[in-house]
Amino acid sequence: MAKNKTPSSANWSEKVTRESDALDLQEGVFTWKDPKKIALSLKQSADSSTRRKSAPFRSAMSMLVFYINRAGKNLHEDQKIILQQAKEELRKLYGKL
């Protein structure tokens, strides 16, 4: 942890992922090994949310990209590949290819 970060500020992204007000995410969704399952879960969460502020696709993709960016160098390379594949699956599910 950097010198100027407190424990609470160092974990803010984890808290956002866990307690997102826009989407109700399934437990551990970003640790799953199946990109299609991840994408389906994100789609279901975004489609059923009544609290999101943008379109379902945008909300789902934003949460996925947020997690990838915040996990950064701490994200194992294999999981990063799976999450990148989940982005492609999400695009397919929403017809955004």
Domains of the chain: which residue ranges?
27-93
Q: Is residue 94 helix, strand or coil? A: coil
Please answer whether residues 42 and 90 qualify as being in contact, where contact means their C-beta atoms are separated by less than 8 angstroms: yes
Would the pLDDT of 6 be above 60? no
The mean per-residue pLDDT over the stretch 28-52 comes to: 94
The 10s digit of each residue's pLDDT in 49-81 is 888 888 999 999 999 999 999 887 889 999 999
Q: Rounded to two decimals, what is the model's pTM?
A: 0.79
pLDDT for 1 equals: 46
Please give the Cα distance from 47 to 92 (Å, whole number): 15
